[in-house]
Amino acid sequence: MMRNKLILLTMIVVFICNGCSIDDDDANFYFTALEIVDAEVPESFDLNKTYKISVNYLKPDTCTYYEGFDVVKDSLTVRSIVAVGATRTDIDNCMEESVQETASFNFQVIYTDPYTFKFYIGDNTEGEAQYMEIVVPVNKS
């Protein structure tokens, strides 16, 4: 469901950013994964409750804008979370400066097993994605 919302948001952004110019067929941005610095999750969950999860991420430059989260259900209670940014390619004076920002999403607990959140923290020297894992138990009572 979160993925469908992200796809819809992405399509809306694409239509807005491309404008109405008939002459310009090139995209003026590309999507990029933003590095997550840390996340604020509860120490435990209660079944059937919804929690706000706050995430601190880095914007690498002034031409990159936060677009949302890509939350992938890897298994029953494992979620991979990536902060998604859009980097404009039609701006000449981008300043490279890492700026930390915060965004959040709501998470509904529907299983009794502990949840594992894998937050994308960047790529290693071999170009492989690295994750910060946080396990949150679910209260049984």
- Sequence ranges of the domains in the chain: 2-17+28-139
- Ranking 20-34, 47-61, 102-116, 124-138 by mean pLDDT, the lowest is 20-34
Q: How far is Cα 74 from Cα 80, in angstroms, rounded to an integer? A: 7
Q: How confident is the model at residue 104 (pLDDT cuts 50, 70, 90)?
A: very high
CB 84, CB 5: distance < 8 Å: no
pTM of the model: 0.79
At the top level of CATH, which class does the domain 2-17+28-139 belong to?
Answer: mainly beta
Q: What is the mean pLDDT of the chain?
A: 88
Question: What tokens appear for 134 in the block?
Answer: 């946080």
Q: How confident is the model at residue 3 (pLDDT cuts 50, 70, 90)?
A: low
A 10 A CB-CB count for 107 gives 21
Q: How confident is the model at residue 118 (pLDDT cuts 50, 70, 90)?
A: very high
Q: How far is Cα 79 from Cα 73, in angstroms, rounded to an integer? A: 5
Q: What percent of the chain has pLDDT over 70?
A: 82
Q: What percent of the chain has pLDDT over 90?
A: 72
Q: What is the pLDDT of residue 94?
A: 87
Q: How far is Cα 140 from Cα 137, in angstroms, rounded to an integer? A: 9
Which candidate, 26, 37, 91, places its Cα nearest to that of 59?
37
Encode pLDDT of 27-75 as tens digits.
899 999 999 999 999 999 999 999 999 999 999 999 999 999 999 999 9
Q: What is the pLDDT of residue 65?
A: 95
- Ranking 11-15, 20-24, 55-59, 116-120 by mean pLDDT, the lowest is 20-24
